[in-house]
Amino acid sequence: MFKNIRYDLKSIKSRDPAARNSLEIFLLYSGFHALLWYRLSHWLYRHHLFFLARFISQTGRFWTGIEIHPGAQIGRGLLIDHGGGVVIGETAVVGDDCTIYQGVTLGGTGKETGKRHPTLGNHVMVGSGAKVLGPFKVGDNSKIASNAVVLSEIPPDSTAVGVPARVVRRNGQKVEAELDQIHIPDPVSQELCRLLVKIEKLEKKVAKLEGEQTEK
């Protein structure tokens, strides 16, 4: 546990340009404080002291505004930047040297049992406000854009954006939209629909004119 804490300090210092020294991180960074509370609560959780583990984690949430379930598995060097509103669920797994910004949720959809929360590979970045929901994996070195809602697996070395999120870059290359060979529109049926609409309008006009002639 203490080795992980030392690694966390070094990793945050090397990746956060605003961090001046390790002492500043240790005393002032709420994201690092959340990790300290988590490391302790996770140790208790692994030793089946579940009530005490939850008590510690809820205390950490009160002081930091960051909720990490003690059952989550978090690797070394997690940088929670700013951190307010971050939620990490019980069966979530976070790899080494990941970066999570404020408002991120690693949660479930409410439909699964057992493994309910996502797995982040190593060196994953999740932008502010993003929601990653479900028991799938986000591959190593991938990036999730701010406010994206990720509901399915993301390959390694990818960038995902949108609601629901879609992969727009993979291995540094732009991903072209794939042609849907099943749901492509039928131009013949579309043209027939247009003709039917025009015929209905003409029939209404003819009926109106006939009515006017009858009245005269």
- The pair phi, psi for residue 154, each rounded to 5°, is -115, 125
Q: Is 8 exposed, middle or buried (0-12, 13-18, 19+ CB in 10 A)?
A: buried
The Cα 165–Cα 54 span in angstroms is: 32
Domain ranges of the chain: 2-174, 185-216
Q: What is the pTM of this model?
A: 0.74
Q: Does domain 2-174 have CATH number 2.160.10.10?
A: yes
The Cα 160–Cα 100 span in angstroms is: 15
pLDDT tens, per residue, the chain with 216 residues:
677 788 888 888 888 888 888 888 888 888 899 999 999 999 999 999 999 999 999 999 999 999 999 999 999 989 998 888 999 999 999 999 999 999 999 998 877 788 999 999 999 999 999 999 999 999 999 999 999 999 999 999 999 998 888 899 888 778 765 545 444 556 676 677 778 878 888 888 888 888 777 776
